[in-house]
């Protein structure tokens, strides 16, 4: 689910608390007044959109805003999004090896 119109101090915890009643949430990410929420069941996603679209969300700092929810058909599955993190770690670990190889070839 795409969440739009979050208050400036809205956090992923605020979004999760607000939408928890719709069902089990397995992933939340927020930034720049928007967020992505993934539910474990598709039915829960539809329930969240029906029940919480155009509702007032209160942040942990007391700011409120009316949020809009819509289905994000472009969103990758959690397994695909999680696989990105290990790839980054592997590429970061390669750079020290390259430096070592480069120093060996110079001597």
pLDDT for residue 81: 44
Share of the chain above pLDDT 70, in %: 69
| 2-102 CATH, one of 3.40.30.10, 3.30.70.330, 3.40.47.10, 3.40.50.80 | 3.30.70.330
72: which DSSP letter?
-
Structural domain boundaries in the chain: 2-102
How far from 96 is each of 50, 76, 84, 88, 105, CA to CA, in Å?
A: 51, 31, 20, 14, 15
**pTM of the full predicted structure?**
0.68
């Amino acid at each position: 689910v795409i969440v739009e119109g979050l208050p400036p101090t809205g956090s992923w915890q605020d979004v999760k608390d607000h939408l928890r009643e719709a069902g089990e949430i397995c992933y939340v990410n927020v930034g720049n007044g928007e967020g992505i929420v993934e539910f474990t069941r598709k039915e829960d996603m539809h329930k969240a959109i029906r029940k919480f679209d155009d509702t007032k969300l209160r942040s942990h700092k007391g700011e409120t805003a009316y949020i809009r929810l819509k289905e994000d058909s472009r969103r990758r599955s959690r397994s695909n999004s999680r696989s990105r993190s290990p790839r980054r770690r592997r590429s970061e670990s390669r750079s020290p090896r390259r430096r070592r190889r480069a120093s060996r070839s110079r001597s």
